[in-house]
Chain A
Amino acid sequence: MRKMAALLIALMVLVMALPMTGIAEGAIDTSEHVKIVYLVTGDKPTNRTDEVLAKINELLTEKINAELEFRWIEWTDWQTQYNLALATQSGDIDLIGTATDWLDAWPNSQKGAFLPLSEDMLKTYAPKTWESVSEAHWELCKYNGEIYLMPEDNYAQWTNHGFMYRGDWAREAGLENGVHSWADLGVYFQYIKDNKDGVIPWDANGNGSSYSPQMAGGWQASHTGNIAIEGFPVSIFYGNSKDDPYTLSRYYLEGDELINFAKEMKKWADAGFWRADVLNYTGDVAAEMEEGQTGAHQHHTQTWTGERTTMERKQPGSDLGFFWFGEEANNLIALNITHGAMAVAAQSKHPERALMVYDLMRNDPEIYHLMQYGFEGEMYTVDENGLFSRPEGFEDGTDGVSFNFWWGRNDGLEYRNAELDWDAIQKLYETYDSVKIDYPYGQYIYDNSMVGVFMDNLSNVYNTYMPRIVFGMNDDPEAIVAEFRQALQDAGIETVMAEVQSQMDAVYKK
């Protein structure tokens, strides 16, 4: 009996001491030196990235006994390679740069590629990140009630698409204020065709279907109030308007606007605004524009901010402008906060340390500045206005640093680039701010399990017809739109629309 009592008391002591041991362990155990592998999209840099990484690893070792290693997903075939790396992970990657709009973050969460991050984990191992992201923003990073992503939500940038055009040529074409509509763009292209010998107005590299959603969606943004919903394998799912966002638009199924688009593009194709074999052409449009061989480049605002400076250097006086899709209709959606986000790999052997590394990358000024700009004094200097500049003769490709850290940039630590034309950029951003609305579908994550089979066939229909509509490669625009719509019907578009609508209703019309 005495033994029994002694045992019981011992047990009690143990139980009561438990919380104490818990507290004692609260100081995180970093005795083991670990290597955190960071999966990132981009070509393996040949500049001074490795030198900078070595310095950062010294700091990381000192602070949390860890070091960082890159695993690059090169741009060649990046979509396949990226998803393959996620699917075949075996503890070989820890941190994954991802995005809900261009890197399939939600489908990958659904397929189990990422580790769900509990609040406790975040609070303990990434406390600064946890604090800096608002509760509302964490909500947008949840799937099935669990947090999967750490969003880049404190970084101002615009990645809405449009056309870069040369301001000098636009003025010559009689467009005093520049290009501000598809109609202006047509005038601009025609002027180039007629007056600039040897210049192709827009030498689009149409091989690869990436222009389809941008161009078709661009016309749509400019001529309707429709709002694109992210996360679908096919870009035909739009909400009606900002006043009625949760009803699906039937733009691709009926109405005249798509036909108007097809007709206009057919006109442009016949006028020779791009080459006849555009669908098989693979050139580098930006490089051609910098050489003065083409007059336009279709990409997004963020690209334009840098390209404007480059163009000024290579084509002095070019005054590169930006016509943004949706400009005529003031139809602009602010960037979703998960356009860039970091996730922890599901099979990571050191998820805690991975979070600690991320917390430092994102919030530690010394590491952040090394990562984004390199060695201060040697690779860049900062003036009293907080603008950074590169030394004379600095070439990014050889002297710069590329961490491609697009998953947690932090305006609190960013320096503005002194080279950029901030007056022009600011002017555009102010216009944007005056018309933008927030992305209305942050809570909705499309579930592919019910209608996936249809979706794949729709994807094929879209990729078959849309390039021909976008580049006017058809004999009769009206007929090809009709054919496209019939093919969508045959592939089961109505079933899919009904399913998507009911999924949306479940989220927004409770």
Chain B
Amino acid sequence: MWFFACSSEQNHVQGVDSLAKSKKASSVVTYRRPSLGKVLWQNKTLILMCLPAIVFFFVFSYMPMPGAYIAFTNFQYNKGIFDSPFVGLRNFQFLFQSGQLTLLLRNTVLYNLAFIILGNVLQLFFAIMLNEVQAKTYKKVSQSVMFLPYFISDVLVALLVYNLLNYDYGFISHLVRSLGGEMPKVYQNANAWPFIIVLVNLWKSTGYGTVVYFAAITGMDSSMMEAAQIDGANAWQRIRYITLPTLKPTVIILFLFAIGGILKGNFGLFYNLVGNNSMLFKTTDIIETYVYRSMMNSFNFSQSSAVGLFQSVVGFFIVLGANAFVKHLDPDYALF
């Protein structure tokens, strides 16, 4: 995502550049729109840089798309996706008949909102702080340390959390008891988990997002800062009036990307932290874990694909809606 943000900015710069060139030429000939081939040729370096991403999305996102048809079939292994019998919308019934849809949607959306909002605020905050730090080594080291949790697998994270919080032998339980307190049974208390899960997620993702924003800040035109400094703006004013407005497009793009997945939960995180502990489901069950629990015995590809398709289609319309809203506010910031 960050890659796109950068490259589109560069594109913009190059566009201005070529416009200037063509202006020079236009003193002799009238301006003609360059052919597609010419545009491609002119931007060959940029296109080459984009190629890996284009190939990636083509292979992993566009090529499998026709396979979504599986959601409308009674899938037979020996017949393949397209020759299996068509059953219409029958596979979509399952989620709606479960009687759990409201709870699942509520949990999924609320968690994602918490992740997106708190996550972005924290990431911005740390990115700006990093930018203000002058000591180079300190900056590099702290950046790396913050980034690290991003690479720890959810399985390990769950194990860490269990070893901290479990009632009988957990580290925190020991600590609380040695201080004479009474440790609550965290793994039997559903109300504690929204906090734990959000906290763990923030711990894992803040470093990554911080680097993204930090990169955007580094890419800012430093002359503005210098000018502001000369005019006597203090640090707070510089952040408020220069850094934050400059970051606005990046924030909006990242937000629009994130909101498309608002119905999709992070299965690895939730399933590993909560597992099949049904005492916690009230506040921790998301669409993915519910589907997993229901399907793990029957192994029904069609039905699970139907749920996935439902999430994607709804996500698609939410993105469209959010984009239209952004466009309405300020057309410059819209994705398309």
Given contacts A275-B168, A276-B168, A280-B187, contact A453 B93 (CB under 8 A): yes
Closest residue on chain B to residue A474 by CB atoms: B279
Nearest to A200 among chain B residues (CB) is: B168
- The answer to the question of A149 belonging to the interface, with a C-beta cut-off of 8 Å to chain B, is no
A453 to chain B: which residues have CB within 8 Å?
Answer: 90, 93-94, 97, 303
Given contacts A87-B77, A276-B185, A453-B93, contact A104 B293 (CB under 8 A): no
How many chain B residues sit at the interface, stated as a range, is 35 or more
**B276, A276: Cβ atoms closer than 8 Å:** no
Asked if A456 meets B74 with Cβ closer than 8 Å, knowing A276-B188, A463-B276, the reply is no
The verdict on B78 contacting chain A, using a C-beta distance below 8 Å, is yes
In whole angstroms, what is the CA distance A277 to B274 when docked? 11
Is A279's CB under 8 angstroms from B187's CB? Answer: yes
Complex contacts, A208 vs chain B, CB 8 Å: 275-276
Q: What's the Cα separation between A491 and B93 when bound, in Å?
A: 13
Cα distance A112–B188 in the bound complex, in angstroms = 43
Q: Which of A79, A104, A463, A491 has the most CB of B within 10 A?
A: A463
**Would B276 and A209 count as touching, CB distance under 8 A?**
yes
Q: Which one, B90, B93, B159, B187, contacts A276 given CB within 8 A? A: B187
Q: Tell me the complex Cα distance, A87–B278, Å.
A: 30
The interface residues of chain A lying within 8 Å CB-to-CB of B100 are 460
Is B21 engaged at the interface, CB distance under 8 Å to the other chain? Answer: no
Contact of A279 among B79, B276, B296, B300 (CB under 8 A): B276
Minimum Cβ distance to chain A for residue B280 (Å): 9
Given A234-B297, A460-B290, A463-B293, the answer on whether A111 and B167 have CB atoms closer than 8 Å is no
Contact A460 B166 (CB under 8 A): no
Q: Which of A82-105 contact B (CB under 8 A)?
A: 83, 86-87, 89, 104
Interface size on A, residues (CB 8 A): 45
User: B98: CB under 8 A from chain A?
Assistant: yes
Tell yes or no: A192 within 8 A of B by CB. no
Interchain CA distance A453-B94 in the complex, whole Å: 5
Complex interface: chain B residues within 8 A of A465 (CB)? 278
A-chain residues with CB within 8 Å of residue B168 when the two chains form the complex: 275-277
Our pick among A79, A89, A277, A452 for the contact of B300 (Cβ within 8 Å) is A452
A459 at the interface (CB under 8 A from B): yes
A346 to B77, CA, bound (A): 8
Cross-chain contact of B294 among A112, A282, A457, A492 (Cβ < 8 A): A457
| A87 with B297: CB separation less than 8 A | no
**B-side contacts of A31, CB under 8 Å:** none
Least Cβ–Cβ distance between A106 and chain B, in angstroms: 12
Is residue B295 within 8 Å, beta carbon to beta carbon, of the partner chain? yes
CB proximity of B168 to chain A, nearest CB, Å: 5
Residues B298 and A460 in contact, CB atoms below 8 Å apart:
no
**Contact B94 A456, beta carbon cutoff 8 Å:** yes
The contact of A86 among B75, B77, B90, B298, by CB within 8 Å, is B77
A347 to B80, CA, bound (A): 11
Contact A456 B77 (CB under 8 A): no
On whether A463 and B277 interact (CB within 8 A), knowing A107-B298, A113-B78, A346-B77, the answer reads no
CA A2 – CA B298 in complex, angstroms?
Answer: 68
Given A87-B77, A113-B77: A279 touches B94 (CB 8 Å cut-off): no
Q: How far is the CA of A491 from the CA of B298 in the complex (A)?
A: 16
**With contact pairs A277-B166, A490-B99 given, residues A207 and B276 touching in the complex (Cβ less than 8 Å):** yes
Closest beta carbon of chain A to B72's beta carbon, Å: 15
Contacts of A449 in B (CB 8 A): 74
A55 CB contacts on chain B under 8 angstroms:
none
A424 shortest CB reach to chain B, Å: 34
Check B167–A280 contact: CB distance below 8 A. Answer: no
Q: Whose C-beta in chain B lies nearest to the C-beta of A276?
A: B167
Given A112-B76, A456-B303, A467-B277, output 11 extra A-B contacts at Cβ < 8 Å: A112-B79, A277-B166, A277-B185, A279-B278, A280-B274, A281-B166, A452-B298, A455-B298, A459-B296, A460-B98, A491-B99
By a beta-carbon cutoff of 8 Å, the part of chain A in contact with chain B is 79-80, 83, 86-87, 89, 104, 107-108, 111-113, 207-209, 233-234, 275-277, 279-282, 346-347, 448-449, 452-457, 459-460, 463-465, 467-468, 473, 490-492
Q: Which B residues are within 8 Å of any A CB, using their own CB?
A: 74-79, 90, 93-94, 97-100, 159, 162, 166-169, 185, 187-188, 274-279, 281, 290, 293-301, 303
**13 A-B residue pairings within 8 Å (CB atoms):** A80-B296, A86-B77, A104-B299, A108-B77, A113-B77, A113-B78, A279-B187, A280-B162, A280-B166, A280-B274, A460-B98, A460-B100, A464-B281
The 5 A-B residue pairs with the shortest CB-CB distance, nearest first, are A112-B78, A233-B297, A279-B277, A276-B167, A277-B187
